[in-house]
Amino acid sequence: MGKFAEMVPERVRALASYVPGKPIRQAEAESGVKMIKLGSNENPFGPSPLAMAAMAEATKSVHLYPDNDSVTLRERLAERHGLQPNQLIVTAGSTYLLDLLARALLSPGLNAVTSERSFIAYPIVTGSAGAALRQVPVRNDGFDLDAISDAIDSDTRLVFIANPNNPTGTMISARELDRFLDRLPENVVVALDEAYYDYAECLARERGVEYSHSVNYVRQERSVVVLRTFSKAYGLAAARVGYGMGPAELLNYVARLKSAFIVSSVAEAGALAALDDHEHYDKSMRNNSEQLPLMMRQLRELGYAPVESWANFIYIETGEDASTLGKRLQMNGVIVRPLTGSWGARTAIRMTVGSPEENRKFIDALKSVTSGAHAR
């Protein structure tokens, strides 16, 4: 142990670091080939041109501190969702809001509940607050809400639900979630993580399924905080803008834990402009709706059984060590996300639905590095 070990609390020493998807520059340096990145569920078309222009204009004022409360964006989002501004909080990405919720609601002796094989930030934010995380087994590659309910006790304060789930892409229907919330104890808040809301809502409409009542929960003042982000559909992952919708009283407490000036004026300008660029948004949704079933079909033809996705990525059990497969794909110019380590899926990868050209390159690379006969 180093000399600081006794100074750092055990709960911090025990934490696993968040491991992001591999950056393109690093992968290209390792492999010596030009790379496409299909490992972090980013928008293949990048940010909106309107957002780019707005951010460029905003750089003229970077010598000034940003609005600490992102009032303009918060009011715009409140109007968009039919809520009051005090029912929203804007943060530096939705992952940061998960940390704020954990610090506001959890402490040693308390616990949070979620599913196995879900977003790897949940154990980190829970552990950093000194609480225990209960992870129930998956059912049909997704959340088992009955098991989640059974795992809740008098010391539970927070339930993390990713809908769609990351990394499996599975969805909980609006009716299923309604029933779950109807039996939720008073001592529990649900962090309803809808980072992939836009893709799920679009796919649900096309498939004739009712996806989400989340904003209604906020209007009804249920014990739910809904998390959304500008990182995925809006292509602003590096700008770091996310937001939450929930009970005004709770968000008031959560806001007290924010660091000052966490959302830059440049990022806020980009988010505001992105909301106005319907053409870019529609292009992103249309590409996902067209490419997702095509990719699913091609993967099945290669002998895989990908899980039906309600997002902009696909979960694939490969039948072999995912890290090894990921390295072979990288040598062929494609970055995917092996779901080893904290994800708990040693033989699975997650690939982003990219542009048509990127998706063709992925399939070609997969064919070249495998036998193409890995049934799930």
pLDDT tens for 43-52 read: 999 999 999 9
Residue 344 — pLDDT band, cuts 50, 70, 90?
confident
pLDDT tens digit sequence for 286-340? 999 999 999 999 999 999 999 999 999 999 999 999 999 999 999 999 999 999 9
In sequence order, the β-bridge partners of residue 13 are none
Q: Does domain 50-276 correspond to CATH entry 3.90.226.10?
A: no
Task: Round to whole Å and give the CA distance between 368 and 348.
Answer: 18
Answer left, alpha or beta for residue 197, where phi above 0 means left and psi between -120 and 50 means alpha.
alpha
pLDDT at 13 over 90: no
Q: What percent of the chain has pLDDT over 90?
A: 89
The residues, any chain, with a CB within 8 Å of residue 374's CB and separated by 6 or more, are: 302, 303, 304, 317, 318, 319, 320
pLDDT tens digit sequence for 237-262? 999 999 999 999 999 999 999 999 99
Residue 174 — pLDDT band, cuts 50, 70, 90?
very high
**Residue-range domain boundaries for the chain:** 10-47+279-369, 50-276
Question: At CA 245, angle to CA 52 and CA 233, rounded to 5?
Answer: 35
pLDDT tens digit sequence for 24-33? 888 888 889 9
pLDDT tens digit sequence for 126-142? 999 999 999 999 999 99
- Measuring CA to CA, which residue among 150, 167, 87 is closest to residue 343? 167
Question: Fold for domain 10-47+279-369?
Answer: Aspartate Aminotransferase, domain 1 (3.90.1150)
Task: Round to whole Å and give the CA distance between 284 and 307.
Answer: 21
Helix (H) or strand (E) holding 316: strand 313-317
Its pTM stands at 0.94
Task: Round to whole Å and give the CA distance between 250 and 189.
Answer: 10
What pLDDT was estimated at residue 123? 96
What pLDDT was estimated at residue 1? 67
Residue 362 to residues 30, 37, 305, 321: CA-CA distances in angstroms? 18, 10, 16, 18
